[in-house]
Amino acid sequence: MKAKLLAFGFALMALALTSCDDTTGGIGGSLTDEADKLKVQADTFNVGAHSILANRILSRSAKGYLGQIKDLETQSEITANLMSQLYVLPNFEMPKKDIVQSKDASGNIVADSCELRLYYFTHFGDSLAPIKITTYELDHPVKEGKKYLTDFDPEAEGYLRTAANNGLEIASTYTLTEFTVPDSIKKEKNYVPSIKVRLNKPYTDKAGKVYNNYGTYMMNKYYENPNDFRNIYKFLNNICPGFYFKVTNGLGSMAAIEAVQLVVYYRYKDTKDKDKIKTGVTQFTSTEEVLQLTNFKSDQEQLKALINTPDVSYLKTPAGLFTEVELPINEIMKGHENDTLNTAKFELQRITNKKASKYNMDIPKNVLILPTDSAAIFFEKNKLNDNKTSFIATYNAQSNSYKFNNVAGIVNYFIRNRATAGSNPNWGKVLVIPVDLKTTKDENKNTVINKVSYYMGLTSTMLLGGDKSKGNIKMSVVYSKFHGR
């Protein structure tokens, strides 16, 4: 491609500098000389892009997901099953045993009731759609320090303590509309909707002891040994390894679970007014200190069919499709081996979905671009974008595209590693991945990114792509060099 020589206006600046006195005349002269020697060129190259399958990615996200929906593009179902552990603090306490008033006929402490709540702020699909799930307790905790991917299945891996082994196994049905909750409560400022699973049936622990419900088991275990509730390792291994929520039937909704909470209800005597009986509530909640893993299932054959769509690429989550971009490194280098690459920018244009539906998936908001070979380790090591070889781009609704304003750092990375081009099939290739960002504001009100993880929500978009010979994607670059160097 023909390079265009750009005009450069440093000479005007130099003229202004020469109006100074004798002590600055030399500086003005030297700047003029260097400016006259500086050569800036721009060029444009074709870029290729295609979809790749992303069915097994790291299942590490601040949110969990539960439900089952139909992907209108593939006409296949996406199922999300959730495993969650609960966290305890070192100073955890329940009411003193002698003030608890909830007791059975024999005078033993019992819980009045117990339930699991799965809190969510957002959901996709029809809130009226009934979803049937089975809730299991884990037989033992999922191991720490191990990579868990989105196809991790606790049931297949033998982590569940099922009814066949006297474990907790409860079938229930929910809708996200929550018909049993009064509208007056839903309108309250602090109200957060939740999926509820009642744990009020008799429960048998591993020692064979039977309790009237799971909450009674938790209370009795606490009074037997409170220290097991003040150390997370002991709690997970001796008391409550966690729960698994598996979708067994239903179609139409998926909730983004912010937290899972075990709630135990009981009555106790007021320590100030001993004639007054109060209702007590003890809660155990999932946090980022413990594991929360979503197991996604989808039709891989339908996703593979999308990969073969000509002249386009896809971004599809969860664990669906990424876009891989082939950068024209050799073309950019040719004839510019001794030049400085100042900027390299390109744009991925979105193709608007013409099939209007209220159940079309959202467009991915934020995407990460980085070398293909660096993607896995980036997420495993909890890295942040460094704006050198990894960049964040945000969907631009006005241009209907993702703009990568300067990826010269990535191009230079491949140039430095061009010795591996022959042996590394991923040389010159970058991935565009939908991501979830956790951010805060600094003292100057600037947004600071604290965490980058795979986006696990439901999103999908089609991008203009295809082989670079099509010319559907253009990369603009700017070089500079000083004459004689």
In a domain, 88, yes or no: yes
Q: Is residue 135 part of a domain?
A: yes
pLDDT of residue 353: 82
Going by pLDDT thresholds of 50, 70 and 90, the confidence category of residue 36 is: low
**DSSP string computed for 106-135:** TS-B--SEEEEEEEEEEEEE-TT--EEEEE
Q: Considering the domain boundaries, does residue 24 fall inside one?
A: no
Query: Domain ends where: 244, 262, 297?
Result: 297
pLDDT bin (cut points 50, 70, 90) of residue 19 is: very low
Mean pLDDT of 174-201: 93
**23: confidence class by pLDDT, cuts 50, 70, 90:** very low
In the chain, how many domains are there?
Answer: 2
Token reading at 285: 């909640």
Looking at per-residue confidence, does 79 or 182 come out higher? Answer: 79
Is 468 in the same domain as 362? yes
Q: Is the pLDDT of residue 254 over 80?
A: yes
Q: What confidence tens digit (pLDDT) does each residue in 142-184 have?
A: 988 889 999 999 999 999 999 999 999 999 999 999 888 888 8
Q: Are residues 325 and 248 in the same domain?
A: no
* pLDDT computed for residue 21 by the predictor: 38
User: Which of 26-30, 96-100, 334-338, 458-462 bottoms out in mean pLDDT, i.e. has the lowest?
Assistant: 26-30
Question: Could you give the C-alpha distances from 125 to 83, 130, 251, in angstroms and in order?
Answer: 22, 11, 9
Mean pLDDT of 411-427: 94
Last residue of a domain, one of 252, 276, 297: 297
Let me know if residue 339 belongs to a domain: yes
Chain segment 98-121, per-residue pLDDT in tens: 999 999 999 999 999 999 999 999
Residue 60 pLDDT level (bands cut at 50, 70, 90): confident
pLDDT at 16: 36
> Domain limits at 261?
64-297
60, 476 Cβ separation under 8 angstroms: no
Does 375 lie in the same domain as 289? no
8 domain-assigned? no
Residue 18: inside a domain, yes or no? no
- Judged against a pLDDT cut of 60, whether residue 320 lies above it is answered with yes
**Do 293 and 303 belong together in one domain?**
no
Residue 30 belongs to a domain: no
Residue 332 phi, psi (nearest 5): -65, -40
In this structure, the answer to whether residues 406 and 341 fall within a common structural domain is: yes
Give residue 484's pLDDT. Answer: 57
Residues 215 and 231 in one domain: yes
**What is the reported pLDDT for 229?**
98
Q: Are residues 214 and 325 in the same domain?
A: no
Q: What is the DSSP letter of 87?
A: B
The reply to whether 464 falls in a domain is: yes
Torsion, Cα of 371, 372, 377, 380 (10° steps): 110
Q: Which of 281, 297, 313 is the last residue of a domain?
A: 297
Q: Is the pLDDT of residue 22 over 70?
A: no
Q: At what angle do helices 22-37 and 10-17 cross, to 10 degrees?
A: 170
C-alpha 265/C-alpha 35 separation (Å) is 78
Chain-centre distance of CA 175, in angstroms? 24
Same domain, 376 and 245: no
Q: Name which of 181-185, 265-269, 305-309, 403-407 the model is least confident about.
A: 181-185
Q: What is the pLDDT of residues 349-406, one digit of tens each?
A: 999 887 777 788 999 999 999 999 999 999 999 999 999 999 999 999 999 999 999 9
434-458 burial, b at 16+ Cβ within 10 Å, e below that, comes to bbbbeeeeeeeeeeeeebbbbbbbb
Residues 321 and 459 in one domain: yes
- Determine the Cα–Cα distance for residues 171 and 199; give it in Å rounded to an integer: 10
Residues 356 and 450 in one domain: yes
User: In terms of domains, do 189 and 106 share one?
Assistant: yes
Please check whether residues 250 and 327 belong to one and the same domain: no
Q: Average pLDDT of the chain?
A: 90
Q: Please tell me the predicted confidence (pLDDT) of residue 372.
A: 98
Given a cut of 90, is residue 7 above it in pLDDT?
no
What average pLDDT does the segment 453-473 reach? 95
The pLDDT value recorded for residue 433 is 98
